[in-house]
Amino acid sequence: MTSAITFRKASRDDIPLILSFIKDLAEYEKLSHEVEATEEKLEATLFEQPLAGEVIFGSVMGEEVVMALFFHNFSTFLAKPGLYLEDLYVRENQRGKGYGKAMLIELARIAKSRGCGRFEWSVLDWNSPAIHFYESLGAKPMDGWTTYRLTGNALDALAAME
């Protein structure tokens, strides 16, 4: 299952692939009409200083099956950086194989290695499969928000998963 997945940081050469994942995600979320991303914009924001975010891919047998785009935020209460997951997308034909969970574990490990005190993301209210999945990992919805956060023991537990 996920033992075959490998992770790598995106490079400039991956810009068309990043845009492809973004468009697929937008279609899934019924938001294709809102996509303004272009290869030029992605190059300027993801690969030129200051970097606005980072992208990692999960690949199986040389094929990218999952993408995550994330950036750092800051918690004033914790006085620590946080990791914010802007987008996570598993190719439709690769869902149900554990690749989304594997990516979240990888991101939790990145967060821990960078001294982050929390790991957050948002989910559309109608996306009940994602909501159930996130809650199964220990993520909790924030009161009044649809943001999910892993902290403390839950973040440690996810980062420690194989």
Q: What is the CATH number of the domain that holds 86?
A: 3.40.630.30
Give the N- to C-terminal CA distance of the chain in Å, as an integer: 12
With beta carbons less than 8 A apart as the criterion, state whether 140 and 149 touch.
Answer: yes
Q: What are the catalytic residues?
A: 134
Q: Is the pLDDT of residue 2 over 60?
A: no
Q: What is the pLDDT of residues 13-65, one digit of tens each?
A: 999 999 999 999 999 999 999 999 999 999 999 999 999 999 999 999 999 99
Q: Tell me the residue range of the domain where 85 lies.
A: 2-160
Dist CA 132 CA 6 (whole Å): 25
Q: Quote the pLDDT of residue 7.
A: 98
Dist CA 3 CA 97 (whole Å): 11
Q: Quote the pLDDT of residue 144.
A: 73
Q: How many domains does the chain have?
A: 1
Q: What is the CA radius of gyration of the chain?
A: 15
Locate 29 and state its tokens.
């979320």
